[in-house]
Structure 1
């Protein structure tokens, strides 16, 4: 699943992904027009994706994220903010952060501590092709929290990016 989510994350940062209208056309492998027959599965679905394994003994988590380039993914998120391609929003107040506030945020929460992403999406199913189309509404960055013995306590919502 992570293999299929990483490209979605990168596409979110580079281009807008959109659910297509039921009347839009697509082409099949032979370049014949195929009418889409989209059925709404979820107008809003929210789910977490682990991008860093906090437990080195958990082999299953390692297997699920073995193809995730954590550094590249996180660096691209911050680059999109610093180049003003995206705006970071406070999770609790929904107010936009300034670039200076994100820099201050990074001082308290280093990039290496980002352990999860949370996606808010729209899912549609194409009955003609069997494909699922997804539109990413937002991506939330969450930081791994540890107790004084360095045991994982959970995750803290950092900021989120809207796909506007």
Structure 2
């Protein structure tokens, strides 16, 4: 019984801390005009889950409970289709045509099938201010590949979107 009470108190405390960090609505964030510090990764590539593939995994559910990438992914897909952003083939890096992009989107389904995002970033460590700054150079949506019982078996690469303005 004591263990259950302790677990409840810990969960309550965690939810209070997390809810105090939440903000409602859209907020404007000013990014630094210049990145300063020592380059520590140029580039680093890694994947981030944005949708829990296992509903029984409570920890992953908790980690992603405040994650909603629909707005961003919709904006990026729109920008790619209108030519504002460029999209490249994941395998051979050729610039994709609008019809190739549409075919990739049709094959992978809608935004609800995006399960992860692969980022390519540059990282800078500012020792004087003890701050890490990141600059996202590109990203790629990973679409869920489902097997038996609709369980996620892996992710299918979509296309690489170049965000670097250099």
Shared fold per TM-score greater than 0.5: yes
* Unmatched segments (≥5 aa) in structure 1: 1-10, 21-35
The Cα offsets for residues 6-29 of structure 1, whole Å up to 9 and x where unpaired, read as: xxxxx9xxxx98863xxxxxxxxx
2:139 counterpart residue number: 139
Correspondence 1:119-134 to 2 at 5 A:
119-134=119-134
Higher helix residue share: 2
State the 1:97 CA deviation. Answer: 1.3
1:55 counterpart residue number: 54
Give me the whole-angstrom Cα distance separating, in 2, the residues matched to 1:105 and 1:71: 18
Name the SS for the 2:149 alignment partner: coil
- Report if the CA contact (8 A) 2:144-2:156 is conserved: yes
State the 1:163 CA deviation. Answer: 2.1
Query: Is 1:72–2:82 an aligned residue pair?
Result: no
Give me the whole-angstrom Cα distance separating, in 1, the residues matched to 2:48 and 2:145: 16
Q: Where do 4+ consecutive residues of structure 1 move more than 3 Å?
A: 16-19
Give me the whole-angstrom Cα distance separating, in 2, the residues matched to 1:84 and 1:68: 27
- Report if the CA contact (8 A) 1:89-1:96 is conserved: yes
1:6 counterpart residue number: none
Give me the whole-angstrom Cα distance separating, in 2, the residues matched to 1:19 and 1:47: 24
TM-score (norm 2): 0.73
Rg bigger for which structure? Answer: 2
* Unmatched segments (≥5 aa) in structure 2: 1-27
- Report if the CA contact (8 A) 2:86-2:162 is conserved: yes
Correspondence 1:1-164 to 2 at 5 A:
20=35, 38-110=37-109, 111-164=111-164
Name the SS for the 1:67 alignment partner: coil
State the 1:92 CA deviation. Answer: 0.4
